[in-house]
């Protein structure tokens, strides 16, 4: 049995390594990540994780693991910031309030069945000053990240509360990933 990681994210590779898992192959899926009209954050994260897993060609002896991390503020989905103004607006929206970090994972087993789970972590940021937002924007850490921040870096200093999966906020919920891999027949040594 070979494992394919349907992601080019170095964070997801690092997180899998914490489980002692090294992918046999890495394949970056190409797909449109635009939310559908009226789509809510949780179904969006679940849909993208499964679509990413299905977008990668799979050999009969391979299982595929894919993930998606989505930031939800109420009914709103915060994707990756488009530009600095968008990034600033996202951090302003997250300032002083709670939000949901929905980290979905999908494993397609040898049987071709997709198994999907989502870890819903609640994160609360402190109230951010304009200077703190400027400091974070200058770091460049949040570029290309859902919600415009990376908890494993400087943004962790903004987190006053977290309930849920820290690894899920980073990019792959390890508890759920391990459970899905085991239910798909993957053996941990």
pLDDT tens-place string over residues 138-183? 999 999 999 999 999 999 999 999 999 999 999 999 999 999 999 9
Query: pLDDT band for position 184 (50/70/90)?
Result: very high
> Percent of the chain having pLDDT more than 90?
97
Q: Cβ distance 95 to 159 under 8 Å?
A: no
Cβ neighbours of residue 155 closer than 8 Å, sequence gap 6 or more: 136, 141, 142, 149
pLDDT score, position 188: 87
Q: What is the pTM of this model?
A: 0.93
- Is the pLDDT reported for residue 189 higher than 90? no
- Is the pLDDT reported for residue 101 higher than 90? yes
Over residues 7-22, the mean pLDDT reads 94
> Cβ–Cβ contacts within 10 Å for residue 165, how many?
20
Active site positions, annotated: 68
- Is the pLDDT reported for residue 95 higher than 90? yes
Q: CA 186 to CA 173: how far, in whole Å?
A: 17
Which contiguous run of DSSP H or E holds residue 159? strand 159-163
- Is the pLDDT reported for residue 85 higher than 80? yes
**Distances in whole angstroms, Cα of residue 125 to Cα of each of 136, 159, 174:** 13, 5, 23
Query: pLDDT band for position 137 (50/70/90)?
Result: very high
Which contiguous run of DSSP H or E holds residue 99? strand 98-108
Query: pLDDT band for position 61 (50/70/90)?
Result: very high
Sequence-ordered alpha helix ranges (H) in the chain: 10-18, 41-54, 84-94, 130-139, 166-170, 174-183
Q: What is the residue-averaged pLDDT of the chain? A: 96
Angle between helices 10-18 and 174-183 (to 10 degrees): 70
Cβ neighbours of residue 26 closer than 8 Å, sequence gap 6 or more: 4, 5, 7, 8, 13
Over residues 12-17, the mean pLDDT reads 96
């Amino acid at each position: 049995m070979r494992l394919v990681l349907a992601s080019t994210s170095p964070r997801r590779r690092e997180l899998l390594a914490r489980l002692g898992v090294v992918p046999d192959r890495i394949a970056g899926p190409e797909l449109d990540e635009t939310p559908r009209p009226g789509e809510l954050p949780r179904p969006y994260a679940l849909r993208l994780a499964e679509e990413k897993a299905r977008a990668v060609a799979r050999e009969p002896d391979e299982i595929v693991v894919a993930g998606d991390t989505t930031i939800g503020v109420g009914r709103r989905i915060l994707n990756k910031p488009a530009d600095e103004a968008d990034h600033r607006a996202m951090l302003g929206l997250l300032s002083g309030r709670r939000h949901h970090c929905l980290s979905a994972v999908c494993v397609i087993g040898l049987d071709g069945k997709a198994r999907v789970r989502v870890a819903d972590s609640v994160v609360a940021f402190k109230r951010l000053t304009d200077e703190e937002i400027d400091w974070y924007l200058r770091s460049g850490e949040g570029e290309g990240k859902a919600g415009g921040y990376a908890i494993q870096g400087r943004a962790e200093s903004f987190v006053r509360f977290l309930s849920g999966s820290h690894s899920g906020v980073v990019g792959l919920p390890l508890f759920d990933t391990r459970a899905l891999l085991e239910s798909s027949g993957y053996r941990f040594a």
